[in-house]
Structure 1
Amino acid sequence: MFNIIGYRTAKTAVGAALAIFIAEQLQLDFYVSAGITAILCISVTRKDSLKASWQRIVACVLGLALATVMFELIGYHAIVLCALLLLFIPIVVYFNAKKGIVTSTVFMLHLYTLEQVTLGILLNEILLLLIGVGAALLMNTYMPSNEKQMQDTQREIEQCFQKVWYEYARYLRENITDWNGEELITASNRIDDGLANALKASDNQLFRHDDYFFHYFKMREKQFEIMERMLPLISTLDHTVVQSQKIAEFMEELSKAVHPGNTAIFYLKQLHEMTQEFREMELPNSREEFEVRSALFHLLYEIENYLTIKKKFKPDPKRKVSSNTKMVSGG
C-alpha cells in the first residue's frame, strides 16, 4: 500500500486516524487535536520526527503554563489572547521550539474557548499532546531503506568516472574531440543526489551509525573536482608527445579500475615511477616544449591527488566489491 500512494502519505493518514481514535475512546475533549498533532509530528526522517515531537512538547507545556497564568489573572478576553501570543512566541523561539508554535496555540485556544482552567482540562490537553506525538513516533518507526537507491547512484557515478577517464585517455592518444562531456554533468548531479540520500539515511539511524555512503559520495565529490580541473589542462597537451601517450595508457587503466574497492596505493606507485621517469628525460629545448612539460607534471600532480583521496577512503568490509570487478582498484 505504501508503494502505491506514498509511504509518508499513508503514515500520515493512519497516524492521524489512530490518534483521533484513541483520544475519542478515552472521551477526551477536542479529540481531533490529537490527529492534528500526529500529522504535524510525522516527518521525513526519524531524527526530524523526534526533534519536532520534542519541540511541540516543550512549546505546549510552556504555552499551557503561560495561558493558565494570564487567563486566570487577567481574564478570557481577545486582548489577553493577543498579549499571550506576543509574549509566548518569542519565548518559544528562545527555547528553540518554534515548530511547536502552531500545536501549542491550538491547545491554548482550547482554554480560551472553555474560559476556565482546571486540573482535568490541563490533563485533557496533555493527553491529547502525548497521544498525537506517540502516534506520530509509532508511524515513523517505519522508514523504507534507500540503500538500494544509493547503490544504484554509486554505480552510475562510477560508470561516469570510467567514461571520463577513457575520454581523457582517448584525447591524449588520438586527439579526438567528439566527446560532449555529458558524463561530467551526470556525475555532478548524481553525486549531489547521493549526498542528499546519504544524509537522509543517516537521519533515520537512531541507535547505529553507518556513514559509509556519506563518506563515499564526499570522496567522489572531491575526486570529481579534480577531474574537472584536469579537463582544460588535458586540452592543452600535444598528443604527439611521448609522455602524453604514457599518461593516456595510465588513464585507460584507471578507467577500468573505478569501483568501491580500494588499493589505490598500487596505482600511486606506478604514478611515482612514471613521474620519476619524466624527470630524468632531457630538458625541453623550446618554450613550447617547456609549457607542455609543465602541463604534464601538473596533470600528474592532479592524478596523484585523485588517487590519494581514494587511498584515504575506508571501504566498508560488509559491502563486497562485485566479483566481475578488478581487485586492483585505483579509482
Structure 2
Amino acid sequence: MKIGSRTIKTAIGTPIAISIAQLLGLTNFVSAGILTILCIQPSRKRSVLSAWHRFLACVTASIFAIIFFELLGYNPIVVGVMLACFIPVTVLLKVTPGIATSSVIILNLYSSAGISLSFLTDQLLLIIVGIGTGLLVNLYMPSLEKNLNQKQEELEHNFQAILFEIALYIRDKNDKWDGEELTICENLLQEAENLVSLDKENHLLRSRHPYHDYFTMRRKQFDLLQKMLPLVSRLPNTDSISIKIADFFEKLSNAVHPGNTAIIYLDELKRLRENFNAEDLPETREEFETRANLFRLLHEIEDYLLLKKKFKSSDVSERNKIKKTGTV
C-alpha cells in the first residue's frame, strides 16, 4: 500500500507541533497537533488559504467565547447557542473551513471555566504553533512533472491506436476494435487536468502551466476524434479516395508526439482535397453518401491538425515542409 505525501507530512508535522507547544509550556498542547492535522492540504495555495481561514475563524471564535461564556456562563447549552451564532458568521466571512479548527479553541476556552488574558495569550500561541507548523510542513510539495509526462505519453499512445483503428476500418471494414482506447483517453484527460490544476496551486506566483495548454489541445482533438467515428462507421464502401484517406490516417497514427509539424499534414490534406474534387461526380445514392461522409471527415481532420498548429510554433520551416517525417 502506497503512503501519500499528505500522510507523511501529517506524521511529521503533528509531533513537531505538539513538541513546540510543550516546550513553550502551553496548556492543551495536544490541540496544536490537532490544528496541524487539520491544516495539511493537497497544495500550497490551499494550504495558505486554509491557514488564513482557520486563523481568522479561531480569532473570531475566541471573541465569541469571551462574550458568550463570560456573559451567559460555562454550560453546554451556551456552547450550542454560541455555535448557532458563530457558524453563520464564518459563512458570512467565507472562512467555513476554519469551523473545525476554531471548535478546538472554543472547547479549550470552555474547559477553562474562566477566560483570563494569560489564557487567551496561551490559546493564541497554540493557534500560531498548530497552524504555522501545518503551513510550513505543507510548503514541500512533490513534483508532478513525472506524472504529467507519463499521462502525456499514455495519451499519445492511445491517440495513435485510435487513428490506426480508423485507418483499418476505412480500408477493410475491420470491426474487431472494441473502442477501449476511447475510455482510456477520457480517463487520462480527466486525471491529467486534475494534476495540472493541483500543480498550478503548488506554484503560487505562476499563472500559466506548461501542460495546461497541451492537455486542453488534446481534449479538443479527442472530441474531434469522437466526431469522426460515426462518419467512418457510415461509409458504405471504399474507393480510391477513401483508401488514400485511410493511408493518411495511418500516417497520422505514426506521428502523434509533443512536437508540432502539423503543417506537413495540412499540405498533404490539401492535396487530398484536390484529388477529391477532381473525382467524377457520384452516380448512385450510396456513392453520394460515401463522398459526403468523406468530405465531412476531411473537414474534421483539418480541424484536428489546425488545433496542433495553433498550439505552439511549428517545428518545421517553410524550407523543410516537404520532409516526410513529422509529428501531430
TM-score (ref. length: structure 1)? 0.91
Partners in 2 of 1:315 and 1:153 — Cα distance? 22
Q: Shift in Å at residue 4 of structure 1? A: 6.6
Matched residue, 1:10: 8
Q: Shift in Å at residue 81 of structure 1? A: 1.7
Contact 1:212–1:316, Cα closer than 8 Å, also in 2: no
After superposition, the C-alpha distances for 1:112-153 in whole angstroms (9 at most, x for unaligned) are: 211222221111111111111111111112211121111111
Secondary structure in structure 2 of the residue aligned to 1:212: coil
Specify the code of the residue in structure 2 equivalent to 1:66. Answer: F
Matched residue, 1:322: none
Partners in 1 of 2:325 and 2:18 — Cα distance? 57
Specify the code of the residue in structure 1 equivalent to 2:59. Answer: V
Point out where structure 1 has 5 or more consecutive residues left out of the alignment.
Answer: 318-325
> How many residues are paired up?
320
Q: Shift in Å at residue 268 of structure 1? A: 1.8
Matched residue, 1:98: 96
Partners in 2 of 1:200 and 1:140 — Cα distance? 14
1:311 to 309, 312, 315: 309
> Superposition RMSD on alpha carbons, in Å?
2.0
Q: Shift in Å at residue 46 of structure 1? A: 1.2
Partners in 2 of 1:79 and 1:316 — Cα distance? 70
1:66 to 51, 64, 67: 64
Contact 1:212–1:315, Cα closer than 8 Å, also in 2: no
2:51 to 38, 50, 53: 53
Q: Shift in Å at residue 276 of structure 1? A: 3.1
Specify the code of the residue in structure 1 equivalent to 2:117. Answer: L
Percent identity (aligned): 45
After superposition, the C-alpha distances for 1:165-220 in whole angstroms (9 at most, x for unaligned) are: 11111221222222222222222221222112111211211223451222222211
Q: Shift in Å at residue 36 of structure 1? A: 0.4
After superposition, the C-alpha distances for 1:19-77 in whole angstroms (9 at most, x for unaligned) are: 01001000011111111000000011111211211110111111111111222223223
Partners in 2 of 1:197 and 1:75 — Cα distance? 50
Partners in 2 of 1:71 and 1:315 — Cα distance? 66
Partners in 1 of 2:49 and 2:158 — Cα distance? 38
Matched residue, 1:129: 127
Residues 1:71 and 1:106: Cα distance change in structure 2 (over 3 Å): same
1:213 to 208, 211, 214: 211
Superposition map of 1:25-44 within 5 A: 25-44=23-42
Specify the code of the residue in structure 2 equivalent to 1:224. Answer: F
Q: Shift in Å at residue 309 of structure 1? A: 1.5
1:280 to 278, 281, 284: 278
Partners in 2 of 1:197 and 1:206 — Cα distance? 15
After superposition, the C-alpha distances for 1:206-243 in whole angstroms (9 at most, x for unaligned) are: 22345122222221111111111211211222453111
Specify the code of the residue in structure 2 equivalent to 1:304. Answer: E
Matched residue, 1:201: 199
Partners in 2 of 1:241 and 1:208 — Cα distance? 52
Matched residue, 1:320: none
Q: Shift in Å at residue 6 of structure 1? A: 3.2
Secondary structure in structure 1 of the residue aligned to 2:211: helix
> Which runs of structure 1 show a deviation greater than 3 angstroms over 4 or more consecutive aligned residues?
3-6
Specify the code of the residue in structure 2 equivalent to 1:105. Answer: S
Specify the code of the residue in structure 2 equivalent to 1:272. Answer: K
Matched residue, 2:167: 169
Residues 1:101 and 1:306: Cα distance change in structure 2 (over 3 Å): same
Q: Which range is displaced more, 272-281 or 45-54?
A: 272-281
Specify the code of the residue in structure 1 equivalent to 2:4. Answer: G
Partners in 1 of 2:106 and 2:99 — Cα distance? 10
Partners in 2 of 1:298 and 1:99 — Cα distance? 51
Q: Which range is displaced more, 60-69 or 276-285?
A: 276-285
TM-score (ref. length: structure 2)? 0.92
Contact 1:146–1:197, Cα closer than 8 Å, also in 2: yes
Partners in 2 of 1:116 and 1:276 — Cα distance? 89
Is 2:108 the partner of 1:110? yes
Specify the code of the residue in structure 2 equivalent to 1:131. Answer: V
Contact 1:46–1:206, Cα closer than 8 Å, also in 2: yes
Partners in 1 of 2:239 and 2:174 — Cα distance? 15
Q: Which range is displaced more, 85-94 or 161-170?
A: 161-170
Matched residue, 2:147: 149
Matched residue, 2:321: none
Point out where structure 2 has 5 or more consecutive residues left out of the alignment.
Answer: 316-323
Secondary structure in structure 2 of the residue aligned to 1:237: coil
